[in-house]
Amino acid sequence: MTFRRFSHWWRNSFWFHYKWHSLGVLALLALLALIFTEVLGRVHPDLYYTATLKGIGISTSFDELDAHLLPLMEDLNGDGQIVLQSELLGVDESEIGMAVGMKFTIQLLDDNISLFLLDRATADELAEQSDAFLPMADFGLTGEADEPWLLRVDDKPMLSGIPVLEGRPFYACVKVFSPAEWENPDIRARFDQIGVLLRAMAGDG
């Protein structure tokens, strides 16, 4: 078949009858290639934590605190990279703030997130569920007198210079782990890593 005959067959036979099929296959292949690239290139964090601030409708990373915590991190998942993923959630009465509030509720149920940093208002809202959080004594630290599951950190050197926290009491807390989770070496390593970060934030590390 000459090029001219092939070109004629392509335009008037194959492409005419199978144009949309071909475009669909090409789109599918492009999507699969994108997914494959994303999976290969995805960075898996060694630790997640969530911080909350009432009164500002935002959802962003907490870069100012990450800069202090990252040097204390270990490569928990063994992928050769040390990655700390944070999220600073601001909840208010705006539509954005309410959506952020729903996001926070979901994160409280996320097994991948154990460490939380809470403003005073959010800590008060969670007080009735305080048994869902570990006492700070488990990390060798002293929690609040009436709230042993909370560790105040805003008045300590590491966090005292962060502008967004100025004048805001700020507390760290850690969700409890189930008996089955305690049998998992990865969870034990997460617990130990969180302990290192908490002691550093408390000025004891």
pLDDT for position 161: 79
Identify whether residues 12 and 90 lie together within a single domain. no
User: 106 and 194 in one domain?
Assistant: yes
The answer on 5 and 52 residing in a single domain is no
pLDDT for the residue numbered 116: 93
Name all contacts of 129-134 with Cβ < 8 Å and 24+ positions apart: 131/176, 132/175, 132/176, 133/173, 133/174, 133/175, 133/176, 134/173, 134/174, 134/175, 134/176, 134/177
Same domain, 89 and 183: yes
Q: What amino acid is encoded at 141 in this protein?
A: L
Which carries the bigger pLDDT value, residue 161 or residue 17?
161
Question: 64 with 78, same domain?
Answer: yes
Give 16-48 pLDDT, tens digit per residue.
Answer: 555 565 555 556 666 655 544 444 445 688 899
Say yes or no to pLDDT of 148 above 90.
Answer: yes
- Whether residue 91 sits in one domain with residue 27: no
Residues 55 and 101 in one domain: yes
- In the prediction, which pLDDT does 193 show? 95
- Same domain, residue pair 75 and 113: yes
The Cα–Cα gap between 154 and 119 comes to 10
pTM listed for this prediction: 0.74
Q: Are residues 92 and 19 in the same domain?
A: no
Same domain, 23 and 71: no
Residues 66-115 have pLDDT tens digits of 888 999 999 888 888 888 888 888 766 665 556 666 777 888 888 888 99
Number of domains in the chain: 2
| Residue 191 domain boundaries | 47-201
Percent share of the chain, pLDDT over 70: 71
Mean per-residue pLDDT, 46-66: 80
Higher per-residue pLDDT: 27 or 120: 120
* 117 and 63 housed in the same domain: yes
Same domain, 75 and 7: no
In this prediction, residue 1 has a pLDDT band, given cuts at 50, 70 and 90, of very low
